[in-house]
Structure 1
Amino acid sequence: MKLVLASASPRRRELMALAAPAYEVCVSDVDESALTAPDPAALAQVLADAKCAAAAALRPGDVVVGCDTVVDVDGQVLGKPRDREDARRMLDSLSGRTHRVHTGVCIQAPGEQRRFCVTTEVEFWPLDAAERDAYLDSGEPYDKAGGYGIQGGAAKFVRGIRGCYFNVVGLPVSQVHRALRSMACWQALGFDESD
């Protein structure tokens, strides 16, 4: 039995190493555009469930962690920007405001499952056009939900957060760790109480 992360995100892979001492990666194809939910937090959970189920089908008998992060401003989901104009629109909508970052998590093991969504509130300072455009020029916004990476150049935009910082990066480390430790599979994976 192996622990498997169902994600291609390099940031999520780094964070998973903080949550568990050893894991492998299995990325599966999920058509995210076909999935819907009544609100952004529920959408994050639906996406996480789908990614977990798809990877679990490829890795039966293993413990699979699937997750997805959604940025929410006033109930509107901000995904990864399509282009520069889309990224500009997203940053402008976040400027001087508080938004929410939801990460849905689904952990599937033989005979047990844990599902949960973690929400963090992030407040941005008002952004002027020069700093916004410099960030757009950096190339950083284009592969990130909401068009920004709190762990990178957008750190200077953040006035404050309420909740888990790592959740905003892409994986709520402590919550995932505690969920895994609460499952019967933890010891079957070869981990102990000190891990």
Structure 2
Amino acid sequence: MLLNKRIKNYNIILASGSPRRQQFFKDLGLEVEIRLKKVVEEYPPRLYQFEISDYLAQLKALPHKDELRENDILITSDTIVWHQSKALGKPNNRSEAIAMLKSLSGHTHQVITSVCFTTTTVEKTLNHTTNVYFKILSDEEIIYYVDTYEPYDKAGAYGIQEWIGQIGIEKIEGSFFNVVGLPVFEVYRTLEELVNFRPKQ
């Protein structure tokens, strides 16, 4: 039986305001409840690569835990761009977005997304890394993209599905969907495991 039929007895809660992540679940045929709570996205400086996104995905689950009921499956996630031994989050303004894209220009970076699944009895965190190869971008291309698309809600200041990805990314190694915002294959597989593991109420 398909997951969208087997999961009818469960309530999937997506704690994300990202329209891209929400669309992924619609495309999978899975109904989700959007539940948002503010979290200060800070992490210990000792953390490295996927440790950062794992920590933040788990941190985002904390305000929801006391509200979970039987058969709730809470999904929280975080995406970072890892480049030159540091994490790039979302730019705060135009100048930061331009600076981020200039730093990525002509280099390879990693997009790391972590997803935390929380129920009343289980917490499971997965992560996926995709290598992204950018061509050398001209200042004109960078400024045009930032001013036209205003990528302030995107880690690393770009969306691979947008103009900059079409003209600027030479190749990727790993999941394309992960760069958009969610490692869909792994998420779907984990939901199948949780539904199979947890008894129906």
The number of equivalent residue pairs is 189
Aligned to 2:105: 95
Give the SS at the match of 1:126.
coil
Corresponding position: 1:82 with 2:95 = no
Aligned to 1:173: 184
Aligned to 2:69: 60
Aligned to 1:193: none
Give the SS at the match of 1:146.
helix
Q: Give, as a single letter, the amino acid of the residue that structure 1 aligns with 2:188.
A: H
* Structure 2 unaligned blocks of 5 or more: 1-9
Give the SS at the match of 2:182.
coil
Deviations 1:145-168 (A, max 9, x none): 100011112222111110011111
**Alignment partners' CA distance in 1, 2:69 and 2:38:** 16
Q: CA RMSD in A?
A: 2.0
**Alignment partners' CA distance in 1, 2:34 and 2:68:** 10
Instruction: Report percent identity of matched pairs.
Output: 35
Q: Shift of the alpha carbon at 1:116?
A: 1.2
**Alignment partners' CA distance in 1, 2:110 and 2:102:** 15
Give the SS at the match of 1:178.
helix
Q: Is the contact made by 1:20 and 1:177 (CA closer than 8 Å) also made in structure 2?
A: no
Aligned to 1:145: 155
**Alignment partners' CA distance in 2, 1:188 and 1:98:** 44
Corresponding position: 1:160 with 2:137 = no
Q: Is the contact made by 2:14 and 2:34 (CA closer than 8 Å) also made in structure 1?
A: yes
Deviations 1:112-169 (A, max 9, x none): 2221111111011110111111112113321111000111122221111100111111
Corresponding position: 1:121 with 2:131 = yes
Corresponding position: 1:104 with 2:114 = yes
Give the TM-score, by structure 1 length.
Answer: 0.89
Q: Shift of the alpha carbon at 1:55?
A: 2.6
Give the SS at the match of 2:128.
strand
Corresponding position: 1:6 with 2:20 = no
**Alignment partners' CA distance in 2, 1:22 and 1:78:** 31
Q: Shift of the alpha carbon at 1:71?
A: 0.6
Deviations 1:83-114 (A, max 9, x none): 11111110011001100011111101232222
Give the SS at the match of 2:38.
coil
Q: Is the contact made by 1:102 and 1:120 (CA closer than 8 Å) also made in structure 2?
A: yes
**Alignment partners' CA distance in 1, 2:144 and 2:65:** 41
Q: Identify which range, 60-69 or 178-187, moves more after superposition.
A: 178-187
Q: Identify which range, 5-14 or 54-63, moves more after superposition.
A: 54-63
**Alignment partners' CA distance in 2, 1:14 and 1:178:** 18
Deviations 1:15-34 (A, max 9, x none): 1234462211111111113x
Q: Identify which range, 152-161 or 56-65, moves more after superposition.
A: 56-65
Aligned to 2:53: 44
Give the SS at the match of 2:194.
coil
**Alignment partners' CA distance in 2, 1:161 and 1:88:** 22
